[in-house]
Chain A
Amino acid sequence: MISQNETILIVEDDSQIHNFIAYILKQEGFSYFIAKSGQIAMTTLISQKIDLMILDMGLPDLDGMEIIKKVRSWSEMPIIVVSARDQDKDKVSALDAGADDYLTKPFSAAELMARIRVMIRHLNKTAKPPIQPIISVGDLSIDFEKRQVFLNGEALHVTPLEYNLLGLFFRNIGKVLTTQFILKEIYGIGYGTDTQALRALMAGLRRKIEPVPAKPRYILTEIGVGYRLVDE
C-alpha cells in the first residue's frame, strides 16, 4: 500500500456511499475523515488539516453550496462535488461557487480515483510557485512565454482568442470550467450568456488540435456544464 500525505474529507450522509469511498481511499493509502453532516464537516475543516474535500450536495442539514462558499473564503483546497441530482444547474452553480470537479451518482471507483489524482497533482504543481513556461498534454503543448502552441512539436497557427482559450485550459488542466466562467475569462465581464460564439470558437480550435473533432482527445465537452482539458 502506497502511503499518501494528503488527508481527504468525505462529506456524505449516506453510509453506503461513504463506506465505499472510504474503502477506496484506504486502498489508495490516503488518510481521511468522514463527516455525516454539514455541521460536522465545518468543525472538521476548522480543526483538521484537510487537503481535499469530497462533498455530497444533498446533505440533511446544510446546503452544499454554503459549505463551498464558506470554505472558499479561507482555503483553495480542491473540492469534488458528488451529487445525486441530475440537474446540471446544481453542478454549474457548485462549480461557479468554487468547486473544482463534480461526479454524478452512481460513479465508479476508477472515476473517483482518477479525479482525486488529478486534483492532488494539480495541488502539488500549483504549490511550486512560478508557473512553468511550457506545459504539455499529450502531443499538445503551449509556450506561455512565446505565446505559441505546438502540436506534435510543430508550431500551430492559432488566433489570439483561440490562444487565450487554450491558455485558460492549460492553466486549469483537469478542471471542469463552466461555460459562464470561460465566457467571462475570454470575452470579459458583461458579455452575457450567449454561448453561440463560444461554441463556434471551440469548434474552430478543435479543428486545429483534434484529429477527429467529434471524438476529442484534448478538450472534452461536459454536456450542460462546460469543458475540461484532459490530464494526460
Chain B
Amino acid sequence: MSSNKSHILHDISLTILILTASTCLGGLFRMLDFHETNVVVVFIFSVLLISRVTRGYAYGICASVISLLLFNWFFTKPYYTLKVNDMTYFITFAIMTFTSIMTSTLTTKEKQAAAEAHEREYESNALYQMTNHLSDAEDASAIAEITVRTSSDVLNCNTACICFDENGTPEKSFIQHKSDGTIIRRELTNPEELKRRMEIINDSSETIGNECCYPIYGKSMILAVLRVPLDTCSTMSPSQARMLHSIIESAALAFERLRSLQAQAKSREEATQERYRSNLLRAISHDIRTPLSGILGTSEMLMDKLKQEDSNYILARDIYQDAEWLHNLVENILNLTKLRDGKLVLDKQPEAIEEVIGAALMVMEKRFPDRVFDVDIPDEVIVVPMDARLITQVIVNLLDNASKHTPADKQILISVIRDEEKVSISVADRGTGISEKDLPNIFQMFYTTRSKGADTRNGVGLGLAICQSIAEAHEGSIQAQNRSGGGAVFTFTLPLRKDKK
C-alpha cells in the first residue's frame, strides 16, 4: 500500500516540476520575444515528457489541461487572466489540447506495452526455468521443491507445497520456503482438516488459517496443495495471479507425469509377479492333481480288493477320503483365485436351467448315494446365458453344504423361480440353519461356522465364497436366510438378458 502512495506522490511532484519548468522556459521565451508557437511546442513536449515518466493516463491528460490553462494564463493577451482577446487562439488551444492528449495516450500505451512485454518475458523465463527443472525432477518432493521455489520467487513470499499420495491423503511432511531462500521440510499439523477442506473445495482456492491453499489437480484426483500466505494472496497483481496459475498447471503436469511413470513401473512389476503366480498355480494344479489322481485311484483299488469288514479296508477308505478332500480343496483354491483375480473368462452360452441342475444332481448322487433331493422347476424351458460349468459348481456347493447340515431324513429342495429379469435358484434345507452370528460372514473366504466341533473337516470356508464370486461374475447375486420352521435357504439369481458383450 505505502509503495503505491509514494508512487503517486512521486508522479505528482514530477508533473508539477516539469510543468513549472516549461512555464519558466515559456517566460524566458516571452522575455526574448520569441513567437508563442515555441511556447506551445514547449508545453506539448512537457506533456510528452510527463506521460513518459509517470504511470497511467491520468497525469498526461491532467498535464495537457493544466498546460492549456497555464498557456492561457501566462502567455496569451490579456496576460494573467483566462480571457482571450484574439479568437484565433481558440484554434491554437484546441490543437494544443488535442495534440498533447494524443501524445500522452500514445506514449503511455507504448510504455505499457513495453512493460507488459517485459513482464511476459520474465514470466515465460520463470516458467521455462521451472519446466526445465521439473523435467529433471525424479520424485514428488523434488517437484514440490521446484514449485515452491518458483512460486516464492514470483510472488515474493514464502510458499509451501504439500504432496498427496495415491489415495488422496496428504503426506505427513511438506516443503516450505524460508525467507533466507532455503527450503525445509516441516511436519503437517492437521492433515485431516486439510484433506476434508480440499475435498469440499469448489473455488480455485481455500483459506485455512493464515494461508491460502491452491489445490493442484491431476486428471482424476488431487495431487498436491500449494500454500501461499494470505496477505500475498489478497495483494496479488493480475499478472502474478496468472503466473501462479501457470505454476500450478506446470506442477500438475509434472506430478501427473511422475504418477504415470510410477504406475507404469508398478504395472510392469505386477505383470512379472502375475507371471510368477500363474506359473506357480499351474505347477500346483499339475503337480498336486496328478499324484492325487494316483492316490485316489490306488486307494480305490485297495478298497476294491479288501472286504468291508477288514481293518485295512478302513485304512484304504480313509486315504481315499482324505485325498478326495484334498483334491476338492485344491480345485476350490484354484477356482477361487482365478475368480477373484477376474482372470477367469466366463464362457457364457444359453443353457437350460434344468440341465445344469441335472448335472449338479449327478455329482451329488456320487457323493451322497443315499440322499434324495427334491426338485421343483417350472414346466417351461428356461434358457439363461451362463457359464454352465461354474453354475453347476455353485449348485453342487450349495447342495453339498445343505447335505452336510441336514439329517438324512429331512428334505432338501432345489427350486427355480423365473421373473421378468432374472431366474432365482434356491436350495432349501431343514437342517441346523445358520446362527445369527454367522449370517453376515457366511460368504467370506475361509469363514467356517464355529457351531461344529473343531475336528470336522467339512469346510475350509471356500465353497460359499466361490458361489458368491461366480454369482457376481454373472452379474447376479446370492443370499442366505433362515427358514421359518428350521433350516436355511440359499438363493442365487442370474440375469436373463444377454450381456452387452
| A interface list, Cβ under 8 A from B | 14, 16-17, 19-21, 23-24, 58, 84, 86, 88, 105-110, 194-196, 199-200, 202-204, 206-207, 212-216, 220-224
Contact = CB atoms under 8 A, between A and B. Distances in A.
17 contacts: A14-B294, A17-B297, A20-B301, A88-B389, A107-B293, A108-B296, A108-B300, A196-B383, A199-B350, A200-B352, A213-B354, A214-B354, A214-B361, A214-B377, A215-B358, A223-B356, A223-B392
A193 to B, nearest CB: 9
A109 B377 contact: no
B355 interface: yes
Contact of A17 (B286, B290, B389): B290
A166 to B, nearest CB: 17
A204 B294 contact: no
A222 B355 CA distance: 9
A212 B375 contact: yes
Contacts of B304: 109
Interface string B348-372: 0111101111110110000000000
Interface string B268-306: 000000000000000001100111111111101100100
A172 to B, nearest CB: 19
Nearest to B296: A106
B388 interface: yes
Given A105-B293, A108-B296, A223-B356, 13 more contacts: A16-B291, A19-B294, A24-B301, A58-B286, A107-B293, A200-B352, A202-B352, A203-B381, A213-B354, A214-B357, A215-B358, A221-B359, A222-B359
B290 A105 contact: yes
B391 to A, nearest CB: 9
Contact of A199 (B297, B379, B381): B381
Given A213-B377, A224-B347, A109 B300 contact: yes
B346 to A, nearest CB: 12
Contact of A223 (B289, B355, B383): B355
Nearest to B293: A106
A21 B297 CA distance: 8
A88 B392 CA distance: 14
B300 A199 contact: no
Nearest to B305: A27
A224 B388 contact: yes
Contact of B297 (A108, A195, A220, A222): A108
A138 B110 CA distance: 109
A223 B448 CA distance: 30
B361 A84 contact: no
Interface string B321-340: 00000010001000000000
Contacts of A206: 354
Nearest to A84: B289
B354 A20 contact: no
